[in-house]
Chain A
Amino acid sequence: MTETRNIGDTLLKVDNISLSFGGVKAITGVSLEIREREICAIIGPNGAGKTSMLNVINGFYHPQEGTITFGGEVRRKMRPHLAAQGGIARTFQNVALFTGMSTLDNIMTGRNLKMKRNFLWQAINIGPARKEELEHREFVERIIDFLEIEAIRKTPVGRLPYGLQKRVELGRALAAEPKLLLLDEPMAGMNVEEKEDMCRFILDTNDEFGTTIGLIEHDMGVVMDLSDHVVVLDHGEKIADGVPDVVRADQNVIDAYLGVAHE
């Protein structure tokens, strides 16, 4: 599977990032690269700093040290707004949807940056503003078809079961047509069938749209199946980086997962 896809140049480069909260070191000197069109998995035990890394990449957290290079620009701090504008979309470990809004409206918010009309037009819903809204609506309908959630288009997402909420959240991220899609444990808490569906959507997204994906996941089977490249974090440090088979056999990784004591 990997050999037939043409993985490109580096899209995101995280260089020597350190992040701490007061005395707690969440990330210590981690560097990693994600290349165009690949699926990169970030794994590691609980509290390893995986979510913190995503938060650094999309600008929620500002590291004390290091730089982030995305789309050719080097930044010390990313800003969420700039990240979104640059084409980074994400989902959250604890689903973060707009619970009062319908599935359709939630996914529509993902189109926010694609709306070209200026601010004053956006404050009304007539004439050109309405026309633009309808065009985006069409795009969103295609995402809804793609994710097979037609039946819940109008349902307020707060009422959906967890598995479907995760799917809607993926839809919202896809609506932005991202260059880099960051998924924080997209399959956590799902049953086997839901997991299989989610795996398929992730692979299809990568295949059909060529979207680069950064994925945090605990399920080793899923990680081995999906990813081209795996980065392992433990206690905020990177302990392995490579193709899935090699990483799986790495003694440090095995120790980290078995909880061998650190000195």
Chain B
Amino acid sequence: MEVLNAIFVLPFVDMFSEPIFFAEVVVGGLLTGVMYSLVALGFVLIFKASGVFNFAQGAMVLFAALTLVGLMEKGVPVWLALIIAAGVMVIVAVIIEKLVLRPLVNQPDIILFMATIGITFFLEGFGETVWGSDIHRLDVGIPDAPFEIGGMLLNEFDIWAAAIGAAMVGGLALFFRYTVIGRALRAVADDHQAALSVGIPLKTIWIVVWSVAGFVGLVAGIMWGTKSGVQFSLSLIALKALPVLILGGFTSIPGAIVGGLIIGVGEKVAEIYWGPLIGGAIENWFAYMLALVFLLFRPQGLFGEKIIERV
């Protein structure tokens, strides 16, 4: 009885009795969630356009952030370092298309997946060879001061991160909706053969999506890197994106965004209100458990298309 009370009643009583603190937790979760969304977005873009499950997305985040921080440590001004890092991600995209995707076109998905594991090791190794394996402090000049609003204690940097993430997502949505390339991308995502038949060049499209995924990775890398330093573990946030994808569906951009937010809020709330019951650290596995529950009841994700096998 007491156990049930502690699980099903007390946490909610806590939430209601201190609504401002609860709001603070939720907002904090949302802000982390935006970053999950960003990483998941990179996955979805590539999966939609080239049908590849890109295991290397996390390594791309790390590589982009390492390039940026490395350049800045060499005294390159922030704006120039940003441009160069973005350019480097385009070059990475071109190389991946040439050396990996094109030779492996029409191979089974699992082969392409393995190839992205190869890319992961390469990017991690290469990044560390060039820029070293220490933890680099990253500061691109986004203000970082705590402030209070309506009784909630928030951090300026988090607000910026969320705003930039939101702008990025909005920009991408416009790009997809209203430009010639965006339309071509949607076409490729829907039907490769048909896209080829109207003369949409697949390889250009692949370079574009991998570049965009690289930019998204760069932004995510800046956010995470500023918070926790640029280090090897950045590569692991790809693993956090996995439950987000299961929640949101592998092919849905809104899904990646909403999924990221749900996981961000969910794990914070769970940690604060239910964590003490079992000695904390719920945050580390909550996302995966939520994903498992989803796999059981809604395997196509929140927004994914229903999977009906054609027989």
Contact = CB atoms under 8 A, between A and B. Distances in A.
Interface of A: 58, 60, 80-81, 83-85, 89-90, 92, 96-101, 105, 108-110, 112-113, 115, 117, 119, 122-125, 129, 133, 172, 176
B194 A92 contact: yes
Interface string B146-182: 0000000000000000000000000000010011111
Contacts of A110: 198
A97 B98 CA distance: 28
Given A80-B197, A176-B198, 12 more contacts: A58-B197, A60-B196, A80-B199, A84-B197, A84-B198, A96-B193, A96-B194, A98-B191, A100-B189, A109-B184, A117-B180, A123-B175
11 contacts: A58-B197, A60-B196, A83-B197, A92-B193, A96-B193, A98-B190, A108-B183, A109-B184, A110-B198, A125-B178, A176-B198
B71 interface: no
Contact of B198 (A99, A112, A125, A133): A112
A184 to B, nearest CB: 11
Given A122-B180, A123-B179, A125-B179, A101 B190 contact: yes
Contacts of B298: none
Contacts of B187: 98, 101, 109
B276 to A, nearest CB: 45
By DSSP majority rule, is chain B's interface helix, strand, loop, or mixed?
Answer: helix
B205 to A, nearest CB: 11
A196 B57 CA distance: 52
Nearest to B175: A123
Contacts of B198: 84, 89, 109-110, 112-113, 172, 176
Contacts of B193: 60, 92, 96
Contact of B200 (A112, A123, A129, A133): A112
Contacts of A89: 197-198
B204 interface: yes
Contact of B181 (A84, A98, A123): A123
Contacts of B196: 60, 80-81, 84
B72 interface: no
B201 interface: yes
A164 B148 CA distance: 58
Contacts of B199: 80-81, 84-85, 112-113, 176
The 3 closest A-B pairs by CB, nearest first: A84-B199, A98-B190, A122-B180
Contacts of A98: 186-187, 190-191, 194-195
Contact of A122 (B181, B186, B189, B197): B181
A13 B114 CA distance: 42
B102 to A, nearest CB: 13
Contacts of B181: 119, 122-123
Interface string B199-215: 11100100000000000
A263 to B, nearest CB: 35
B94 to A, nearest CB: 13
A109 B183 CA distance: 7
A98 B199 CA distance: 14
Q: Which of B193, B199, B200 has the most CB of A within 10 A?
A: B199
Contacts of A124: 179
A133 B179 CA distance: 9
Contacts of A115: 180
A115 B179 CA distance: 12
Nearest to A107: B198
A109 B201 CA distance: 12
Given A85-B199, A113-B198, A125-B179, A101 B191 contact: no
A97 B198 CA distance: 11
A125 B175 CA distance: 8
Given A122-B180, A124-B179, A109 B191 contact: no
B204 A119 contact: yes
Contacts of B183: 101, 105, 108-109
A109 B234 CA distance: 39
Contacts of A60: 193, 196
Contacts of A92: 193-194, 197
Given A99-B190, A109-B184, A90 B179 contact: no
B85 to A, nearest CB: 19
